[in-house]
Structures are given as structure tokens and as C-alpha cells.
Amino acid sequence: MTIAEWVDNDQGLRAPAYAFSAARPVLFSARIAPQLVGMGLLEAIDEQTVLGWQDVDDADGDGISGKAQRSVDPVTGDKRLGRFGWKAGASSLKHQIAAALNTDMGVMTSVFPKPDCGVMQQGCGETGQELADEHLTDLIKYVSLLGVRARRDIDDSEALRGENIFRELGCTSCHRSELTTSLHHPLAELRNELVHPYTDLLLHDMGPGLADALGEGVASGAEWRTPALWGIGLSACVTGGVTGPFQKQVCAPSESYLHDGRARTLDEAIRWHGGEAEASQKAFVASPAADQGALLKFLRSL
């Protein structure tokens, strides 16, 4: 699978067109790797808090429905709130990490002791645990405690004005700015913390422009979990890496946003929003350039 070309629409936004070395699959979806910081804090948010934000039938008429993904815990078999992945397909970090080891790397654990062969393939690997539980536990703890960098420009008047504009345009209907973690997470560092992730962990219909053909659980192709925005102002350096000699390296930014990395700037990412977010997107586009700039400066401060 390769990106054959980038196709521009009438708004100057680009979308990838894919080519395949063999037959084109009926179902596929290109995804970039999500950020890892703050995942333990997202896991520590009480499930009932998230479920309380659901409004599947848009009872309040604000155009934002939001629904919870229901994911089967691979250890207990219980249905739990989905939290991780672009469609919130994993209920816990143990679920997410063990699934990534199995599907992406072919490493079996006690959680997923069988290889991910798919329905069309037989005998693609041996069954059995390859990674000891103690090492899986260490990996889960490491990812759980990856911290979020502090917000920058907290005294910058333009960034603060952008934060108000972000709220006024309705962006916080999905990108909730303030949450408190529960008292019951196994790791004491994650309990009862006031955090600012800018997500509700719910699925939202983002319109046909961002839809793919690969649903997951209760999520349709057009529905995506609200991504957390903390750290987004630093993500271009993560994507692009650094340049220069050792200990004198500087950021070589390369911006890449949305599930398939199509957006080259935060401005483009906003303009791709449709569906439940279309009203906020149109309000952003109709805003004066100075207001747009302030909002973007706020996002870059996160």
C-alpha cells in the first residue's frame, strides 16, 4: 500500500489517494500513530463520567450527539468503555498495548496468545505466550506514566484570547478542557488529578470528508474518538524529529494531523471538520483572520 498522490479539493485541502500492489481491499483505513503522553490519565477518568456525556439522539438539540464505544475486555470478557485508538476500540492500556504487540509486531502475550492471522489465513504463526507478564506489566506502567509537557504561553494575551474563541466556537463541546481522574486507579500518581486533555473520549460523526470504509465496534466509518489535544503544540517536532549535532539539536518540525496525517497545519485540520463539528468549523472559517490566528496560537500553546 502506498500513497499514489495527494488530491486537492475546491477548498485547497488535500486527501491521500492510495495504490495497492495487489487487489484493492474492500475494507482498509490508513492511520498514523497516536501520541502516547497522558494515556494513563485518560485511563483514570471514571467511566460513568464519560457515559454521562453521551447524547446519542441529540436530545438537547445542539448538533453534538457523541456516543460511547463499547469494547470487550480481552481478559475478563466484560464490555467496557472504549478509550484508546482512533475509534476507541481498546478499553484499557493493557488491552491497547497487548493488541499492538500482537497485531503490529506479532508478539503474543497472555492477553492475546494467538497470532492475528485474519479470516483468510491459516497457520500464520505459532500459538503461545512470548512476552512474560512481568514485562508486559512494566511496559503498561511505563506508558501509563508518560507525562504531558506543561502548557506554554500561559500569560500570553493572544493565546488566552484564542482559548476564549475556542470555547465560543463550540469546540469544547467535544474537546472538553477540564476533567478530574478517579480515586481508584491502581497507580497512585494518576488518582484524583485535575487534567486538561481536551477530549470527551466519545465517538463523533465527523462527516463524509473524513470517513473511511472501516468501522469498528459501534463506530461507523465516519465516527472517530475525540483525540486529546494536550501536547499538540509539540507534535510537529515529534513527527519531524531533530537536526544538528549531539546536545545541540533543534526541532525540525513536520506537521501531520488527523487520523491519516492529511492535514499539514492545524488550520487545515480544523477546516476538515464536518458532521457534528461542521458548525464550529464554519464559524472558524468565517472568523476574522486575527481571531483565527489567536485560536491557532492557543492550540500551539498546549
pLDDT at residue 20 greater than cutoff 90: yes
Q: What is the pLDDT of residues 193-249, one digit of tens each?
A: 999 999 999 999 999 999 998 999 999 999 999 999 999 999 999 888 889 998 888
Cα separations (Å) of 23 from 1, 18, 20, 155, 212?
A: 10, 12, 7, 55, 18
Q: What is the pLDDT of residues 54-87, one digit of tens each?
A: 999 888 888 999 999 999 999 999 999 999 999 9
C-alpha cell at 70: 463499547
The pair phi, psi for residue 80, each rounded to 5°, is: -130, 170
* pTM, 2 dp: 0.92
pLDDT at 125: 79
Tell me the pairing of strands 2-8 and 179-180.
unpaired
Residue percentage of the chain with pLDDT more than 70: 100
How far from each other are the two terminal CA atoms of the chain, in whole angstroms?
34
Partners of residue 263 on adjacent β-strands: 257
